[in-house]
Amino acid sequence: MYYTYVLRCSAGDFYVGSTINLRDRFAQHEAGRVPATAHRPVILEYYEACRFEANARHRE
């Protein structure tokens, strides 16, 4: 499965991404290892599963 996800950052803005491993990717965001969200706390607001990577990227 591939996932498209939406994070809400502390300033109220959103970050949209896609990944094959949602738990690991979210942990990277929380640990500050993703430059776009490194200085902000994040909350997972939404995610959806896709069977194909192309579909997840398109939804992103």
CA 33 – CA 54 distance, rounded (Å): 24
Label residue 32 left, alpha or beta by phi (over 0 means left) and psi (-120 to 50 means alpha): left
SS3 23: helix
Question: What is the dotted CATH code of the domain comprising 2-59?
Answer: 3.40.1440.10
Is the separation of the CB atoms in 43 and 5 below 8 Å?
no
Please report the pLDDT score of residue 17 as a whole number. 97
pLDDT digit string (tens) for 15-44?
999 999 999 999 999 999 999 998 889 999
What pTM did the predictor assign? Answer: 0.91
Is the separation of the CB atoms in 47 and 22 below 8 Å?
yes
What is the arithmetic mean of pLDDT over 45-50?
A: 98
